[in-house]
Amino acid sequence: MKTARVLLAVAALFLSAAGDEPVEGGAPDWPAYLGGMARSGSYAGSLALPVSHAWKQDLACSLSVSPVVAHRRIYAADDCGRTYCLDLDRGVLVWATDPDEKISASPLYSGGALFIGTVSGDLKALDCTTGVTLWSARAARGPLSAAVAFEDKVIAAAGLPDNAIMAFRAKDGRLLWKTALPGPVTSPPCLKEKKLVCGLGPAAAVAINPENGVILWKKECGGPFERSAVTLLGNEVLCLPSGKAVGLFKFDLETGSQTGGLVFPLEQEGPDPAAGLLVSAPAVSSNVCCFIMGQKGFPLSLYTLKAVRLPDLSPLWKRSKSVPARDPESCFPPLLWNDKVIACLGDNGLLVADTATGETLFSCSFKSRLAAPPALYDNAVVVVTVKGACHVFKSAGSAFMPEALDVSADPSGGQDPFIVIKYQVPRPCRLKLAVFNMRGQEVMTLINGQRPAGYFKLLWNGRGRSKRPLAGGVYFVKIATEGASKIVKMTILK
């Protein structure tokens, strides 16, 4: 099966048009767990309400890790070790891998490849176009965290029994460095300003040089804590330790010196209310920090979404909800979308609230529990459930779609002998993209069908309808929809 997929991928290189793919220029990607390398859980742009359910795709197995989204493609992984690529706009399956080892954390999209860690400690690289495995490397003896990308490296951490962080060369999986950490890893690494930061137990943050793995500083939060989650904002590290209590501490990213901190009171009384305490990683923007605190109980558990004003850490608002207790329980990080916060308060529901006031703006429920935090992209919220369903909700408008139809052609594009044709579509439509010679004759049809809105790139090998290379000279590329068209000149050099 894997050999067949490799042959299909190679054969695709010899087609007249190698297929178009979404490209940068529109919406920012959501390429990693909690959005990006800083793990801020915050997305640019603004989610316009109302939102509606766009589509649902049932996958082959249960899900437990967050999806990522890049170039209008959703990448998700199930508990049977399959990885999926779905089209964001239509919900159709682009490719799926064969079952393999269970995946331990959200994928990382970087440089056209997908990097995935497994519960047995393997780090794998997949081709994002085909799903073919590019390389696999043994990184640890236990589960790997979600990875980050730095220059030519992919960096992941491993908890017990390894308690280490390691960097691999992205193109071939070669181990570049590995560093033992002074404590168990309790949150995945985050990256900013050439500083790599991890949360450690019992309650610490450690900064590492991503170029060579050298530990730069380690700072303890102190207090009745057992674990910590970290995120990065500007030149500060925000550390959320938890255990018998919950705290929020700020450290200078460069020096590790503490710049602020507080401990939150528990929401629920009892003989030992912190015995079943669950705390999410924080989501941060320039002026607010949000997190969820869950206190397990029977027959009800209490989940509280808290908002804290930055930079002074003063309380802003909180929302609490009691839900039937279940085992196991989990506490997913909220997400920030400009003036809105998106959260799951321990049940089957998704909540969208106003960041300033906590007022509910939108809510919905699912037949099964959410499997992980959602992913955000353009005007869409991507949700996965434990029963293996992928849902997409969309708003009517988008802040990132192109305003007009356009096309450009580059005879080299750095991928000789291919010709790179980029085009943009302001709204879903039936589109025709074709090549004409100087006499106005159509020599090649590249696209003739329905296309979604967005920014796209197509690789054409310069062959006409006869499958033979076209002669050198001047040609024209025409893009046309109902009511709009554009023509650009292109020279093929021989």
User: What does the pLDDT look like over 359-393, one tens digit per residue?
Assistant: 999 898 888 889 999 999 988 999 999 999 999 99
Domain match, 332 and 356 both: yes
Residues 246, 263 contacting (CB under 8 angstroms): yes
Question: What is the CB neighbour count within 10 angstroms for residue 320?
Answer: 14
Which residues on adjacent β-strands are paired with residue 124? 116, 136
Domain match, 379 and 262 both: yes
Confidence of residue 5 (pLDDT cuts 50, 70, 90): very low
User: What does the pLDDT look like over 79-133, one tens digit per residue?
Assistant: 999 999 999 988 999 999 999 999 999 999 999 999 999 999 999 999 999 999 9
Of 181, 121, 194, 184, whose CA–CA distance to 153 is shortest?
A: 194
431 has pLDDT over 50: yes
Question: Which CATH number do you get for residue 426?
Answer: 2.60.40.4070
What is the reported pLDDT for 7? 34
Confidence of residue 417 (pLDDT cuts 50, 70, 90): low
Q: Please compute the mean of the pLDDT values over residues 56-73 and round it to a whole number.
A: 92
Residue 32, in any domain of the structure: no
Domain match, 414 and 288 both: no
Nearest-angstrom CA–CA distance, 384 and 390: 5
In total, how many domains does the chain have? 2
User: What does the pLDDT look like over 141-155, one tens digit per residue?
Assistant: 999 999 999 999 999
User: What does the pLDDT look like over 306-334, one tens digit per residue?
Assistant: 999 999 999 999 999 888 887 667 789 99
Domain match, 302 and 449 both: no
Confidence of residue 9 (pLDDT cuts 50, 70, 90): very low
Give 186: exposed, middle or buried? Use CB within 10 Å, 0-12, 13-18, 19+: buried
415 has pLDDT over 50: no
For the chain, percent of residues with pLDDT exceeding 90? 60
- Catalogue the E-assigned strands of 97-173: 108-110, 113-117, 122-127, 133-138, 148-150, 153-158, 164-169
Domain match, 209 and 85 both: yes
Domain match, 343 and 468 both: no
Domain boundary among the residues 395, 416, 446 is at: 395
Q: Please compute the mean of the pLDDT values over residues 233-246 and round it to a whole number.
A: 90
Question: Which CATH number do you get for residue 268?
Answer: 2.130.10.10
Q: Please compute the mean of the pLDDT values over residues 422-445 and round it to a whole number.
A: 92
Residue 212 has what DSSP assignment? T
What is the reported pLDDT for 284? 95
Residue 130, in any domain of the structure: yes
Q: Which domain holds residue 434?
A: 15-22+401-492
Domain match, 58 and 119 both: yes
Domain match, 242 and 218 both: yes
Nearest-angstrom CA–CA distance, 205 and 259: 14
Residue 10, in any domain of the structure: no
Residue with tokens 């050099």: 493
Domain boundary among the residues 350, 372, 395 is at: 395
Report pTM.
0.79
Q: Which of 269-273, 287-291, 344-348, 451-455 has the highest mean pLDDT?
A: 287-291
Domain boundary among the residues 395, 416, 445 is at: 395
Domain match, 384 and 407 both: no
178 has pLDDT over 70: yes
For the chain, percent of residues with pLDDT exceeding 70? 89
3 has pLDDT over 70: no
Beta strand pairing status for 300-309 and 314-324? antiparallel
Residue 37, in any domain of the structure: no
Average pLDDT over the chain, rounded to an integer: 87
Domain match, 386 and 405 both: no
Give 214: exposed, middle or buried? Use CB within 10 Å, 0-12, 13-18, 19+: exposed
Residues 165, 156 contacting (CB under 8 angstroms): yes
Residue 123, in any domain of the structure: yes
What is the reported pLDDT for 458? 85
Domain match, 420 and 487 both: yes
Domain match, 357 and 283 both: yes
